[in-house]
């Protein structure tokens, strides 16, 4: 089970989280004045460069400009680029262009808002041009997809997981208190936490004790599932 945590702003905290067992270290790459925790390209690259072996860096971008995203990729050099803008801002044509112009060793993750049954068709379409899908919540007044701290309809997410041929990471209001239920309900390849692993009252400062609790909840479930012959991602 992949554990992905957003949104780191400090290299040392990111390093410590990776040592705690976080597989995907996420951060916002680019200062566009749209979301909390935005980093300059140089600051984002500091996080990439400090991570221990085995941890993958995930650079979230809110840009819809292909050339700007490519410029970020060159400067930051992440393992994965997470396209988190509203779905139509980086459409299938742009995703295809990105895939063809990015280095082969950089993967693409597309954020899919889980809103209603139409989300299934959206996910199925973008799975054709993505290495990962991230299923997240969308809330009016929030830019892009995610970072709301809200859960969504896991039944729709479960249907998407079953249908698409690429790994799916489940996000949206997950914490150590509900992540096991989410895994059992949706059966994703990975799980993601952002707001629930921040210090209380902070939108950007990560709480390592909450991260440790999240990791422990997932790994404890994995051990239990393996002992009882249940499938794990």
Do 61 and 44 form a contact (C-beta atoms < 8 A)? no
Q: What is the pLDDT of residue 150?
A: 72
Nearest CA among 156, 192, 154, 197 for reference residue 171: 192
- Determine what percent of the chain is predicted with pLDDT higher than 70: 94
Q: What is the pTM of this model?
A: 0.94
CATH code matching the domain that covers 2-227, chosen among 3.30.930.10, 3.40.50.620, 3.40.50.300, 3.20.20.70? 3.20.20.70
Query: How does pLDDT run across 33-64, given as a tens digit for each residue?
Result: 888 899 999 999 999 999 999 999 999 999 99
Phi, psi of 2 (to 5 degrees): -75, 130
Partners of 39 in the β-ladder: 29
Burial 13-25 (b: 16+ CB within 10 A, else e): bbbbbbebbbbbb
């Amino acid at each position: 089970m992949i554990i992905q945590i957003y949104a780191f702003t400090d290299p040392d905290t990111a390093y410590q989280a990776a040592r705690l067992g976080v597989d995907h270290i996420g951060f916002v790459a680019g200062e566009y004045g749209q979301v909390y925790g935005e980093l300059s390209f140089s600051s984002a690259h500091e996080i990439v460069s400090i991570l221990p072996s085995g941890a993958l860096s995930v650079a979230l971008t809110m840009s819809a400009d292909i050339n700007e995203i490519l410029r970020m990729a060159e400067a930051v050099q992440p393992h994965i680029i997470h396209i988190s803008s509203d779905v139509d801002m980086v459409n299938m044509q742009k995703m295809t262009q990105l895939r063809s112009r990015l280095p082969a060793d950089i993967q693409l993750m597309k954020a899919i808002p889980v809103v209603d049954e139409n989300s299934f068709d959206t996910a199925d379409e973008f799975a054709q041009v993505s290495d990962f899908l991230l299923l997240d919540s969308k809330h009016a007044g929030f830019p892009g997809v995610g970072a709301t701290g809200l859960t969504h309809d896991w039944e729709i997410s479960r249907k998407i997981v079953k249908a698409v041929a690429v790994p799916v990471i489940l996000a949206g209001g997950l914490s150590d208190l509900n992540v096991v239920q989410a895994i059992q309900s949706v059966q994703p390849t990975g799980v993601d936490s952002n707001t629930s692993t921040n210090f209380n009252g902070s939108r950007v400062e990560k709480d390592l004790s909450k991260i440790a609790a999240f990791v422990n909840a997932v790994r404890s479930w994995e051990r239990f599932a393996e002992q009882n012959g249940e499938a794990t991602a």
